[in-house]
Structure 1
């Protein structure tokens, strides 16, 4: 790593820590808050969708970064996200809360697309992803515990105001970074025509549909079926984040070849499928704690795995692959949480988890079919 990059690490970890704190104080509780506001399963599904529908803007952010640079876009987006979190704290209805959350996700989505590009160009070291995720998750762990307590004894508004302040700090901590952009134009449609890349997309369309179907089911089960307090839900989120720290580091260390990414994805899908079964069987907070740990194992596998894949494939730009992944997440977000809401109405919240788990686990077979062509193309 270059000397200049080493000097930026303290700002990197400050930014990641502030983001972790902000998400733990606010974003982690979006579904819980709107559920307690009395929102219907359909509206809860819409909120779950908003986090992913905003990803449909990902190609725009990737292309804009070549014109304006990644740094400027990331800073502006985080400042806007801070504003929307602040405004959401004063929402008087579930609908107003939903609108501000949607605007927050649109702004925050810029960072999701461009962060792997910054890591690749500034640090050129995939392990920085794992270290950054660890810093983020440690602060997230602390924040969800604090937020659960604050919301039980005071109000979610205080937690959201603190989150807005941390997002502001995260944005300013990006100022010392150099501007990052691609200098050469390439065929922007190439990733969308590559059969191997499309196979990866198909795998995530199946698995991701199951994952996103669970978004409205989780808060309904925790709040309305199990009657868990915000503090208990905060502990579950802390368990999730501590597990996420460990496995983010693990995946960052074990991925050395493109085919390793597929194996990591498969382990992640198994964990998410098991999580759904645990939720189906849950009768107390202990089941939720176990499900939260399994969720972290699966979530970290998908997150670190795709970032490693997008940085390790020489044929395409990192931000284009990130944008492709996030765009397909956005497509799934248009229908999957609402599909989950529909199944909740038709078969109940518990059986919705079983239906979702079948979809997630079935994607293991698609993943297995991708290993041989991936090895032949990039490893032999």
Structure 2
């Protein structure tokens, strides 16, 4: 009876995560189009685009407070995810009644903040309920199916938006409703208990405010291997964020792309590539340490700005660039999301995953703003080249760290 109950619990966790990713796809698909909606329909300035692009990583700083509520409290893992989905979707139902670009930006920021904040809870549930191999497979297949849908939907959305620019008013609330339909599956999850739990103590506001930062510093101080992983990923992530303000300008002003062309490149090529490569990355991750694995991801990222610049002479290079980008993103998300369970080993993984969330917010404070400044000063192509330089540096760093990585999974001091 016990084994059967555990099997059902494991199966439900895997199924719930899979369908939650699939049903979140419409919202993330329209999020990918939002910078171009703001630029084409709302005539947003470079500064406004930089603000929107910066919001996604910056909200990660606030996400860390949401995720900190589950540290050492397995009973709150499922509740954390359910509340995040409910609260994060609320403002999208107001979009048809208030035609405001700032409402879209704020609603997106809240949703992204809570979605990222719930990631540590998801990773800890998968770690508790599944074997290491099954955890990686579940994440890889859930992500790949989500991105495959995310590749098909934006093409339809681009066609709709080209023909009816006001269609976004009903697309957002409908997408939010679809996202919420995964709640019954999440409610059925039975989180496997390891007998480890932390008693809830009353904290001062200052202690609560500084808690995630102190915990992150404590982990990075004690786990040198995790610190070096964060350094390598910070360099790569900074390169990606520097490029973001330049991309809409390069595509719209430099290449004159339509919504359908943008959707075909950004979502179809990227989404299909992500879906096809994600299982391959999961298999590759079993054969090498996380540093060498991440270095292969950043090496692939180096091709992205090269292909984009070549698109000025042959437009097909845009699609080649996003085929490579989709494969790179599949490996990057696998490394980023599973680094917590990998480095934490038998300990609670949620604080480790929360460190990833915090570092995203830190680079979001400066990288998009710098990218916007460099774009205005030197042009979008120069910023693309700068991002490629960061990818090369990240690859070199991660390969260097990999050489000192011992078989025990620790780095020598």
Question: What is the TM-score with the length of structure 1 in the denominator?
Answer: 0.91
Q: 1:228 aligns with which of 251, 257, 263?
A: 257
Deviation per CA, 1:202-242, whole angstroms, max 9, x where unpaired? 11221111111111111221222222111111111111011
Which residue of structure 2 lines up, in the alignment, with residue 69 of structure 1? Answer: 76
C-alpha separation between the residues in 2 aligned to 1:17 and 1:226?
32
Query: Which is further off, 132-141 or 330-339?
Result: 132-141
2:56 equivalent to 1:46? no
Deviation per CA, 1:9-60, whole angstroms, max 9, x where unpaired? 4433322210123312x21112111222111111111111111111113432
2:145 equivalent to 1:138? no
Please report how far the alpha carbon of residue 369 of structure 1 lies from its aligned counterpart in structure 2 after TM superposition: 2.0
Deviation per CA, 1:91-150, whole angstroms, max 9, x where unpaired? 534334322322222222223332211211222322111121122122222222221122
Structure 1's 16 and 300: CA in aligned 2 closer, same or farther, altered over 3 A? same
Please report how far the alpha carbon of residue 376 of structure 1 lies from its aligned counterpart in structure 2 after TM superposition: 4.6
C-alpha separation between the residues in 2 aligned to 1:11 and 1:363?
35
2:110 equivalent to 1:103? yes
2:206 equivalent to 1:177? no
Q: 1:149 aligns with which of 159, 171, 181?
A: 159
Q: 2:282 aligns with which of 252, 255, 261?
A: 252
2:35 equivalent to 1:31? yes
**Counterpart of 1:324 in 2: which secondary structure?**
helix
The answer as to whether partners of 2:151 and 2:272 remain within 8 angstroms in 1 is yes
Please report how far the alpha carbon of residue 80 of structure 1 lies from its aligned counterpart in structure 2 after TM superposition: 2.1
Structure number with greater Rg is: 2
Question: What is the TM-score with the length of structure 2 in the denominator?
Answer: 0.84
The answer as to whether partners of 1:232 and 1:285 remain within 8 angstroms in 2 is no
**Counterpart of 2:365 in 1: which secondary structure?**
helix
C-alpha separation between the residues in 1 aligned to 2:346 and 2:79?
26
Please report how far the alpha carbon of residue 372 of structure 1 lies from its aligned counterpart in structure 2 after TM superposition: 3.2
Structure 2 alignment gaps of length 5 or more: 1-5, 200-213
The answer as to whether partners of 1:228 and 1:285 remain within 8 angstroms in 2 is no
Structure 1's 208 and 255: CA in aligned 2 closer, same or farther, altered over 3 A? same
Structure 1 alignment gaps of length 5 or more: none
Q: 1:238 aligns with which of 262, 268, 293?
A: 268
Which residue of structure 1 lines up, in the alignment, with residue 361 of structure 2? Answer: 330
Deviation per CA, 1:300-339, whole angstroms, max 9, x where unpaired? 1111023333222316432111111111011011111111
2:170 equivalent to 1:158? yes
Q: 1:59 aligns with which of 61, 64, 77?
A: 64
